[in-house]
Amino acid sequence: MSKEPLRAAVLAALESELSRQTHAALDARDESISEESRAENKYDTHAQEAAYLAEGQARLATELVAALAAWRALRFPEPGHDRAQLGSLVTLSAGKREDLLLLGPTNGGLVVPSPADPAREVTVVTPSSPVGRALLGHAVGDTLPPPRKGAPAPRIVALD
């Protein structure tokens, strides 16, 4: 299966979030420098709070730009690879539950529709997350440690 539609879905989600963050940062900046935000007394910190907010949103926008670059540069593994690695699409089964996980460079937790079956979702996990770290280097049929005591141990049932 080609993972390019997955990359496109992730990029679209990140670009949408970047647009929102950029607009929010610009709005907060405008708020911080507007005439209406001028302090009325020494305890009025509205403009300062808006400036802090603008700075934080601008920082998030910068992180999203870096995430977009990382996803664009990601090289997916060749079809038929036998070990989970960055760019692998992993199907995990635990009990009656089956999850699709994409090992990506950034933005773990992002959920996008599966290109093969839009009714299913693919969750991005990163190597820095416990699940991503546990997946790296494992093959189909391998069982991972259970996420919590008493939970079924997830097993890798497919690797793409």
- Mean pLDDT: which of 45-59, 93-107, 138-152 is highest? 93-107
Asked if 110 and 124 count as a contact pair (C-beta separation under 8 A), the reply is: yes
Structure tokens at 131: 């699940």
Classify strands 121-125 and 155-159 as parallel, antiparallel or unpaired.
Answer: unpaired
Give the predicted TM-score (pTM) of the model. Answer: 0.83
- Calculate the dihedral angle through the C-alpha atoms of 70, 123, 12, 1, rounding to the nearest 10 degrees: 90
For helices 46-73 and 4-33, the axis angle rounded to 10 degrees is 160
Mean pLDDT, rounded, for 1-28: 89
Give the closest residue to 152 by CA, choosing from 98, 103, 102, 85.
98
Could you report the per-residue pLDDT of 52-82, keeping only the tens digit for each? Answer: 888 888 899 999 999 999 999 999 998 888 8
**What's the mean pLDDT when you consider all of the chain?**
87
Integer Cα distance of 23 and 114 in angstroms: 29
- Distance CA(93)–CA(56), nearest Å, equals 39
pLDDT over 70 at 14, yes or no? yes
pLDDT of 2 higher than 90: no
Owner of token pair 């290109």: 115
Listing from the earlier edge strand, what are the strands of the sheet with 121-125?
A: 111-113, 121-125, 97-103, 89-94, 155-159
Confidence of residue 94 (pLDDT cuts 50, 70, 90): confident
Token readout for 73 is 């540069």
pLDDT for 148 equals 81
pLDDT band of 84, cuts 50, 70, 90: very high
Instruction: Compute the distance between CA of residue 34 and CA of residue 46 in angstroms, rounded to an integer.
Output: 11
Across 39-96, where does the E strand assignment appear?
89-94
CATH of span 89-159: 3.10.50
* Of residues 22 and 40, more confidently modeled: 22
Distance separating alpha carbons of residues 132 and 32, to the nearest angstrom: 40
pLDDT at 103: 95
